[in-house]
A = this chain, B = another copy of it.
Amino acid sequence: MFELILISALVSGLAILSAFMFHRFMLKHDAGTPKMKELQAHIREGAWTFMTEEAKVFAVVMLVIAAILGLIFYWEVAAAFLIGAVLSMSAGFIGMNSATLANARVTNAARKDSKSALNVAMSGGAVMGLTVAGLALGGLTLVIFLFRGSFEPSVLHIESKAVPFISQIIGRNINFIKAALIVSAYSMGASLVALFDRVGGGIYTKAADMGADLVGKAEEHLPEDDPRNPATIADNVGDNVGDVGGLGADLLESFVGSIISVIVIMLYVFVARNNADIQALLGEITNGGVFAAANYWWLIITPLIIISGGIISSLLGVMFVLMKKNKSKLQGTLMNGTRISAILTIILSYIVISLSPLNLSVFWAVVIGIATGIIIGYISEYYTSSQYKPVKRVAEADDAGAAIGITEGMAVGMISTFVPGIVVAVAITMTYWLAGLIGVAFGALGMLSFVGMTVAVDTYGPIADNAGGIAEGAKLPHEVRKRTDNLDSIGNTTAAIGKGFAIGSAAFSALALIAAYMWSAIGSVGEVKIPTIEIISNNPLIGGSVIAALFLGAMVPYVFSALLIQGVSHTANQMVREIRRQFKADPGILKGKSKPDFNKCISITSKSSLRKMVLPALLTIVMPFIIGFLLGRFALAGFLIGALLSCMQLAIYCANTGGALDNAKKFIEEGHYGGKGSEAHVSSIIGDTVGDPLKDTVGPSLDILVKLMSVVSILFASLFPVYPVIFP
C-alpha cells in the first residue's frame, strides 16, 4: 500500500499550486502611488537583505551539521536534514516575499473599502499558510519516497553500526532504526531553521520597534511610522522577518514535528511487534490488533493522510473567507473560516481513520487535540483582548502609574496559565488513556493538522499592520489608515487565538517528540519494549539522575529567555545611539527636509540580531549533548520533560503579559482614561515596551526550544550512554 503516499504528494502539490494562484490573485492588485511603491520597495529590500544575510549564516551551519550527520550515520540522513532545512528556509522566503508584495496593495485597496483590503491581505496570508503546509508535507513525502528502501517493512530493524572514532570513544557501536533517523533529520533541519528565524527575526523586530519608539516617539514626539524616523523602515522590515518569516518557519516546524513523532513511534512499534506489551497496545489502537506487514504502510502513511485532510480543510477555509460576499462582520468571517477548517478536519480524519486499520480511539485522540488547541486559543484571547476584564484592569492600573500597570500585566500573564494547565493535563490523561504515547502523538497531529488556516490568519495581521505603516509613510488620507487599523485589530484577536494555539500545539507536539525520543533511546535498550522512565529509581545506575535533569531542564528556558531579552535590549541600544546620531548630524531630517539613512539602521539591526542569535541557538543544541553524555539517556528524557514544563508556563506567561500590556495601551488610545497623551497613556507605553520582547521574541522562541532539543535528542540518542557516566 505504498501507493497511499500518492495522496499526500497530490495534496501537497495542490497546496503549493493554490498558494501560487493566491499569489497571482494578490499581484493583480495595484500597489498605489509612486510614494507607496517606493516605501514598499524599501521594506522589501530590507527584508530581503536580512533574510539573505541570515541564509548565508544558515548555509554554513547546515552544511557543517549535514557533514556530521553523514559521517556518523548515512548520507541519506544528511540529505533528509538538508531537505528539511531548505524547505523551511524557502517557506520563510516565499511567505516574506508575498507579504512584502501584499502590504502596499492592501493599503491601496483600503483606499477603496475595507472588504477588498481584507481580500488582498487574506490572499497574502494564504500564500504563506498553504506554502508552509504544502512544503512541509511535500518534503516529508519526498523524503519517504526517495529513501523508501530504508522504510520497507522487510528491511526495518535496529541496526548496529560501528562508526570510526566515535564508536571507539563511546566504547560500543551505535544502534538505531535508519528510517527513524531519516525522518528525524528532516524534522531537525526544519526546526533548526525555525529557531534561527524565530530568534533572529524576533530580536530584529523588537529591537527595531523599541529603537524607533524610544527616540522617535519618546524623545522627539514623532508619530508611529513617521517617515522622518530613520528606524521606520527597519521597524516595518521587522514585522515581516519576525512576524511573517519567523511564524511560518515556527509552525512548519511544529507541523513536521507532530507528524514525524507519530512515524518514529510507529517504526519502533512495528519492529517490536512481537513483544507482548506492544501487542496489547496494538490491540487497543487497531482493528484486529495485528501489526502485520500487510498494513504496515497504512500505519506509516496514515498521519500524512490525516494531515492532507487538514490541508484541504485549510484551503476551503481560506476560500470561504475570500468568497464570502457579505463581509459586514469581518471578524466573524475570519473566525468562521477557522471554524470551518476545524470541523472539516475532524470529518476528514474520521473518514481516513475509518478506512485505515487504526480504530476510533486514535480518531478521538485527534479530536481531543483539536479541541485543546481551540480552548487554549480562546483563553489567550480572554486574557489579552480589550473586550474583557483582565486588559481593562491593566488599563485601570496604568492610570495609577507605569509600575502598577506592569505589575498587573504580569499578574494577568501568570494567572492565564491556569486554564491551559488544566486543559493540557486533561488532554494528556485522555489521549494517553485512549492509546498510550501513540495517543498523545496523534493528539498533537490533530492540533496541528489545519495549520495552513492558522498561518494564513496569523500572517494576515502583520500584512495589515505594514499596510498601515505605508499609509502613514505615504501620507494617505486619514480614513485609509483607519481602515487598515481596523483590519489589524481584527487580525489581533484571531492572532491571539493563533498564538495560544501555537503554544498549546507546541506543548503537545513537544511531548510527542519526547515520547518518540523515549522509544528511540530507551525502548531500544536490549530488546525493544514500551519505554518507561522513573523519576527516582532504585536502579543505582539511574538513581537521582532523572530528577537532577528535571531541575536542569526547568532552568534552561529561563536562561534562554534572558539571552533573548538581552539580545533585544542591546540591539535596541545600538539603534537608539544611531538614531540620535542621525538627528544630530543632520537637523534637516526632523524638519522633513532631508531623508534619513534608513539602510544604516537596517544594517545595524541585521548584524546585531544575527550575532545575538548565536548563543541561544548554541545553548539549545549543546544542552542535550551535555546532559546525554554526562547523565545518560534516562536523565535526558527527564531534562526534556523539565524543559517542556518550564517552557510552557513561561511561554504562556510571556505571551499573555505582553498581549495584555499591548492591548491595554490600545484600549487607552481609544479614549479611555484620558486617551492619547494622558498620564495613563504614558504609563501604558512603558508597559507595552516591557511586554513587547516578552510577547514577540521570548514567547514564540520558547515554543521551538524544547522541540528542537527533543529532535536533537532523538537523532543522537544512540551516541549517549544509557546510564550516567559521572559516577562509576
Contacts and interface: CB of A to CB of B under 8 A. Distances in A.
B414 A551 contact: no
7 contacts: A402-B686, A411-B561, A415-B566, A421-B551, A429-B631, A432-B545, A642-B645
A569 B396 CA distance: 11
Contact of A561 (B218, B414, B552, B555): B414
Given A426-B548, A428-B547, A531-B536, 4 more contacts: A411-B566, A414-B559, A418-B559, A432-B545
A649 interface: yes
A229 B421 CA distance: 44
A53 interface: no
A21 interface: no
B648 A551 contact: yes
Interface in A365-410: 397, 400-404, 406-408, 410
Interface stretch (A433-441, A457-465, A489-497): A433-441
A544 interface: yes
Contacts of A566: 408, 411, 415
A585 interface: no
Considering residues A407, A412, A418, A422, which has the most beta carbons from chain B within 10 angstroms of its beta carbon?
A407
Chain A at the B interface: mostly helix, strand, loop or mixed? helix
A478 to B, nearest CB: 29
B534 A411 contact: no
B417 A555 contact: yes
Nearest to A689: B403
Contacts of A727: 429, 433
Interface string A643-678: 001101100010000000000000000000000000
A206 B621 CA distance: 41
A402 B402 contact: yes
A322 interface: no
Contact of A552 (B404, B415, B422): B422
Give 5 closest A-B pairs by Cβ, nearest first: A432-B544, A421-B555, A403-B689, A414-B562, A415-B562
Contact of A641 (B426, B436, B547, B689): B547
Contact of A572 (B277, B404, B511, B724): B404
Nearest to A401: B214
Contact of A549 (B417, B425, B543, B687): B425
A530 interface: yes
A554 interface: yes
A641 to B, nearest CB: 6
B418 A555 contact: yes
Contact of A397 (B411, B569, B646, B686): B569
Given A551-B424, A555-B649, A693-B407, A641 B414 contact: no
A343 interface: no
Interface in A572-588: 572-573, 576
B689 A558 contact: no
Contacts of A535: 532-535, 546, 637-638, 641
Given A535-B533, A535-B534, A646-B649, A565 B686 contact: no
Given A214-B404, A431-B544, A690-B403, A417 B558 contact: yes
A47 interface: no
Contacts of A415: 558-559, 562-563, 566
Contacts of A554: 421, 554, 645-646, 648-649
A283 B414 CA distance: 47
Nearest to A415: B562
Nearest to A511: B547
A518 B543 contact: no
B536 A534 contact: no
A552 B425 contact: yes
